[in-house]
Amino acid sequence: MTRTERTAPAATARERAPATALGARDRWLPGWQRLVGGVAAGALLAGSMPPRSAWYLAPAGAAALTWALLGLRWQQRLVLGAVTGLGFFAPTLSWLTDFHPAGFAAVVVLEVTLFAAAMLLVAPGRGRWWTVPAALVALEAVRGRFPFGGFPLPGMALGQLDGPFAAAAPLGGSLLVVGLTTGAGAAMTALALARRRVRTLVLVAALAAVSAVGVALAAPDRAPAGQLRTAVVQGGGPRGIPAVEADEQAVTERLFDVSDNLPADLDLVLWPESSLVVTGPVTDTAEAERVAALARRTGATVVAGVTESESTTFRNAAVAWGPDGRMADRYEKVHRVPFGEYIPARGLFEQLSDMTALVPRDAVPGRGPGLLDTPAGPLGVVISYEVFFSDRARAAVTAGGQVLLVPTNAASYTTEEVPATEVAAARMRAREMDRAVLQAAPTGYTAIVLPDGSVARQGELGTPELLIASVPLRTGLTPYARTGDLPVLLAVAWAVIAGPTMRVLHRRDRAVGT
């Protein structure tokens, strides 16, 4: 018997044997080089987020992710997505550990799971590179809506405000910005790996040209409606104090102290969220009379955040006082913060966790668009967390808001991560809607953002600030304000579905031909 004859039966037996642990590992693990690429991709994406905002790192992260993903089976893409998601979310959500370490772990696990699941949308073939940005856009769309109405922190688009891709915001919103940013990175990898490089280059160039033309044609019409002389007030004070432990009266007094320096030629004064904390309706309270006196003294419309406490609930509102001291209008926050302003399934969590001690009462959700009809004009409003959701800004603008107000309260955060991210969200809403955005926070960041997304004025953290500027009023609607996310989502669906469909049709045609 020859050597070949002796070894052949053993080889055949190995091939026919059940899958071993080594075989299962090979099916699930994509290889250490690709795992390192996934970790690098997550770290690069995290580095592009505020407050670092190194926008160019996001395309590089998408390029690394595309290189690591293409050609993998679905099990390997799932593992690689989890690794990349962990590299992205662990550092960018680390601020949650200041509130509840177990809550941080739960949120990271959820977000990593969503990232991993999104990678299943990536086509297995090496030539379908565009499915990588499509999957990332789909991920951001889901995160903006799930769970509990969405938790879009961090949002991949928010690191792009100082880069070229933000120019697409008026056309397709933050999802289009994400698609172009990550698409640029994926295209770089496709060009580097392409066997038919000329064909790939033509495809990339065509997509870039279509994108550029679309952005140029969709420039805002910038319909002017005058100017608004505004003052945004920040009282200052200590940071890192949970809302349930804050000295509410001290917050109010600091705002009044800074407002003593207001000039008399103002149209609008904006105070932060929870500037006044009262029991029951704010009407006829001493705090309301003091704000009314401020409005009469300055001759301006004053908008202040008001928290109205009730026995088991509370209301979070933005209330406007006219120059005559009368209440002109109010808006109650619609999109509440889960585990911040209300506890989903409170009865269950009260038995499982001490988290309910930080949120003893649930906020009553408001209704309708955030619009205040005031002597200063129709003012759009998104309160705090709502600034991260473009649908709330769209509702305010399409209802007639000529400027966007963001009364917020970020005093409970010890680092600048969330305040900086909130300013980035305000800048993105400004670009999407072509509106000036005025953001007021009790301890920062307070900012005045122009319709092109540039920051005209911004205060520091923890210090008293009085920001005064004239901002433009606008009445026109951008394409994104008219359509929302639907066109981009349809494009993503086509990108994900078209590849497998074309392969099936191609195989059927070949079978018929034979």
Backbone angles phi, psi at 309, to 5 degrees: -85, 140
Angle between helices 74-92 and 21-28 (to 10 degrees): 60
Q: What is the mean pLDDT of residues 12-17?
A: 45
Residue 464 within any structural domain of the chain: yes
User: Per-residue pLDDT tens for 52-108?
Assistant: 889 999 999 999 999 999 989 999 999 999 999 999 999 999 999 988 888 899 999
**What confidence tier does 18 reach under pLDDT thresholds 50, 70, 90?**
low
Sheet of 455-458: strands edge to edge? 371-374, 377-381, 404-407, 437-440, 447-449, 455-458
pLDDT of residue 21 exceeding 60 = no
Residue 345 within any structural domain of the chain: no
Q: Are residues 173 and 236 in the same domain?
A: no
Structural domain boundaries enclosing 497: 20-219+484-513
Q: Tell me the C-alpha to C-alpha distance, in Å, between residue 259 and each of 151, 252, 254, 441, 464.
A: 34, 11, 9, 14, 10
Q: Three-state SS string across 32-76, please?
A: HHHHHHHHHHHHHHHHCCCCCCCCCHHHHHHHHHHHHHCCCCHHH
Q: Are residues 212 and 256 in the same domain?
A: no
pLDDT of residue 2 exceeding 80 = no
User: Per-residue pLDDT tens for 460-513?
Assistant: 999 999 999 999 999 999 999 999 999 999 999 998 887 666 555 555 655 555
CATH of the domain at 239: 3.60.110.10
pLDDT above 70 covers what percent of the chain?
Answer: 86
Amino acid sitting at position 496 = V
Q: What is the mean pLDDT of residues 303-320?
A: 96
Q: What does the pLDDT read at residue 192?
A: 84
In degrees to the nearest 10, what's the CA dihedral of 461, 464, 468, 473? 50
Cβ proximity of 444 and 219 under 8 Å: no
Q: Are residues 266 and 167 in the same domain?
A: no
Q: Are residues 41 and 161 in the same domain?
A: yes
**What confidence tier does 385 reach under pLDDT thresholds 50, 70, 90?**
very high
Q: Are residues 244 and 375 in the same domain?
A: yes
Q: Beta partners for 332?
A: 317
Cβ proximity of 380 and 403 under 8 Å: yes
Tokens 């496709």 -> residue: 190
Residue 147 within any structural domain of the chain: yes
CA angle 450, 273, 405 (to 5 degrees): 25
Short-list 260, 252, 180, CA closest to 212? 180
Q: What is the pTM of this model?
A: 0.91
Q: Which residues of 429-438 are buried (b: 16+ CB within 10 A; e: fewer)?
A: bbbbbbbbbb
Residue 221 CB contacts under 8 Å (≥ 6 apart), including other chains: 434, 476
CB atoms within 10 A of CB 318: 28
Q: Are residues 113 and 243 in the same domain?
A: no
User: Per-residue pLDDT tens for 419-436?
Assistant: 999 999 999 999 999 999
Q: Are residues 160 and 107 in the same domain?
A: yes
Q: What does the pLDDT read at residue 5?
A: 43
Helix (H, G, I), strand (E, B) or coil at 20: coil
pLDDT, averaged across the chain: 89
Q: Are residues 330 and 463 in the same domain?
A: yes
Q: Are strands 371-374 and 301-309 parallel, antiparallel or unpaired?
A: unpaired
Q: What does the pLDDT read at residue 465?
A: 97
User: Per-residue pLDDT tens for 324-336?
Assistant: 999 999 999 999 9
Residue 12 within any structural domain of the chain: no
Q: What is the mean pLDDT of residues 305-323?
A: 96
pLDDT of residue 457 exceeding 60 = yes
Residue 350 within any structural domain of the chain: no
Q: Are residues 373 and 249 in the same domain?
A: yes
Q: Are residues 379 and 495 in the same domain?
A: no
Residue 96 CB contacts under 8 Å (≥ 6 apart), including other chains: 103, 104, 107
Residue 110 CB contacts under 8 Å (≥ 6 apart), including other chains: 147
What is the distance between the alpha carbons of residues 164 and 157, in angstroms, rounded to a whole number?
12
Residue 344 within any structural domain of the chain: no
**104: its two tokens:** 């941080």
Cβ proximity of 411 and 246 under 8 Å: yes
User: Per-residue pLDDT tens for 99-126?
Assistant: 888 889 999 999 999 999 999 999 887 7
- DSSP class of residue 405 equals E
Q: Are residues 214 and 229 in the same domain?
A: no
**What confidence tier does 9 reach under pLDDT thresholds 50, 70, 90?**
very low
The domain total for the chain is 2
Residue 8 within any structural domain of the chain: no
Q: Are residues 502 and 415 in the same domain?
A: no
Percent helix / strand / coil, the chain, rounded to 5: 50, 15, 35
Q: What does the pLDDT read at residue 498?
A: 75
Residue 41 CB contacts under 8 Å (≥ 6 apart), including other chains: 61, 62, 64, 65, 68, 84, 87, 88
Helix (H, G, I), strand (E, B) or coil at 271: coil
Q: Which residues of 403-428 are buried (b: 16+ CB within 10 A; e: fewer)?
A: bbbbbbbbbbbeebbbbbbbbbbbbb
Residue 504 within any structural domain of the chain: yes
- How far from the centroid of its chain's Cα atoms is residue 225's Cα? 29
